[in-house]
Amino acid sequence: VSARGCAAGLDVGGTFLKGARVDADGVIEARFHEPVAKGSGEDLFHQLARAVACLESPAEPVRAVGVGLPGLVDEDGRVRRAPNVPVLNGLRVGQELALRCGRRAFAENDANAAALAEAWIGAGQGARHLLFVTLGTGVGGALVLGGRLFTGCSGYAGEIGHLQVEPDGLPCGCGSWGCLETVAGNGGWTRRAEEALARRGSSLQGQELSPANIVAAARQRDPVALEVVEGTARALGVGLAAALDLLNLDRVVIGGGVAGAGEFLLASIVEQVRQRTFADVFAACEFRLAALGGDAGVVGAARVALLGLAEG
Ligand SMILES: [Zn+2]
């Protein structure tokens, strides 16, 4: 039994609750996976407490619980802006769960948790100042500066998806327009592919216009797909260059579903960043694809718990 014990990491998604018991080195020892009970706050807390009980082991007691949530967690531990699991809004998940499972519990935004996981045992290992970007339906981000999450004064820091990359762009859900997310979120890929398909022929005709299909076609030099990938890379390049000139980071990690598109997309993004930053800023930064895949959420949530315990 490790002297430092282990933690339970829970990742509340829009569809599934995933959990893991994680040891002090980040190794997953047990897993939990169920559709998320989001009918009411009571249902959800029951399920979270049950997940912790399932992950418990007599040999490796769970010392603390971390919960990654699809929303912002404010300084009082209250969840805000959780559109995919609205029942979370206003709940103090850490405090409530601690009461129900009899040990310390800590809640954190899911992208922040994933960034901590990558910084701990993934593609961010060894970095001093890290930006983690998730590409999916939305474009999320998180900053780990000097080994600690930097969330700003009300939880919004790192939201790279809402940097404006097109001053005349489309409206965004945040109230602004032309945000990176409107271009590089899944909906942005589909929209731009539809626009390009209306102008010229493509192997994408009749296919689902998902980022994965678009990148696969771009690898085969399909001109429409190449145009869409180039547009995504350009928007990400604009946003990342702004972040790098502002913060002079030494690591950018790109994750989320689209990151499965791999080095092909990453290389295009890096070239776009290179053109837009100080040469020294660019040279100081390493760009990597996320390494932990679907485990980043639960490992990161466990990391949140272990860090919370260490801080007392
Ligand atoms: Zn926005």
Model pLDDT for residues 117-146, shown as the tens digit of each residue: 999 999 999 999 999 999 988 899 999 999
Q: For residues 260-297, b (16+ Cβ closer than 10 Å) or e, as one string?
A: ebeeebbebbbebbeebbeeebbebbbbbbbbbeebbb
Find the 132 Cα to ligand 1 centroid distance in Å. Answer: 18
Return the SS3 of 215.
helix
pTM here is 0.93
What are the angstrom distances between the C-alpha of 16 and each of 206, 233, 300?
A: 31, 30, 16
Find the 57 Cα to ligand 1 centroid distance in Å. Answer: 43
Report the helix count and the strand count for the chain, using DSSP H and E. 10, 12
Q: List CB-based neighbours of ion ligand 1 within 5 Å.
A: 162, 172, 174, 176, 179
Find the 170 Cα to ligand 1 centroid distance in Å. Answer: 10
2, exposed or middle or buried, with CB in 10 Å at 0-12, 13-18, 19+? exposed
User: Within 103-200, where are the H helices?
Assistant: 110-121, 180-184, 186-199
Q: Which of 277, 282, 295 is nearest to 27 (CA)?
A: 295
Q: Which residues contact 43 (CB under 8 A, 6 or more apart)?
A: 37
Q: State the number of CA atoms in the 13 A half-sphere of 114 facing the CB.
A: 30
d(CA 184, CA 305): 32
The torsion angles phi and psi of 108, rounded to 5 degrees, stand at: -150, 150
Find the 75 Cα to ligand 1 centroid distance in Å. Answer: 22
d(CA 238, CA 143): 18
The torsion angles phi and psi of 158, rounded to 5 degrees, stand at: 90, 0
Note every long-range contact of 174-177, with CB atoms under 8 Å and residues 24 or more positions apart, other chains counting.
none
Find the 158 Cα to ligand 1 centroid distance in Å. Answer: 13
d(CA 149, CA 111): 11
Find the 287 Cα to ligand 1 centroid distance in Å. Answer: 24
Find the 167 Cα to ligand 1 centroid distance in Å. Answer: 12
Find the 71 Cα to ligand 1 centroid distance in Å. Answer: 15
Q: Are 134 and 68 in contact (CB under 8 A)?
A: no
What string of pLDDT tens digits covers the 312 residues of the chain?
344 689 999 999 989 999 999 999 999 999 999 999 999 999 999 999 999 999 998 888 899 999 999 999 988 889 998 888 899 999 999 999 999 999 999 999 999 999 999 999 999 999 999 999 999 888 999 999 999 999 998 888 999 999 999 999 999 999 999 999 999 999 999 999 999 999 999 999 999 999 999 999 999 999 999 999 999 999 999 999 999 999 999 999 999 877 666 788 999 999 999 999 999 999 999 999 999 999 999 999 999 999 999 987
Find the 135 Cα to ligand 1 centroid distance in Å. Answer: 14
**Helix pair 263-274, 223-247: axis angle to 10 deg:** 50
d(CA 161, CA 141): 7
Find the 176 Cα to ligand 1 centroid distance in Å. Answer: 5
d(CA 11, CA 113): 9
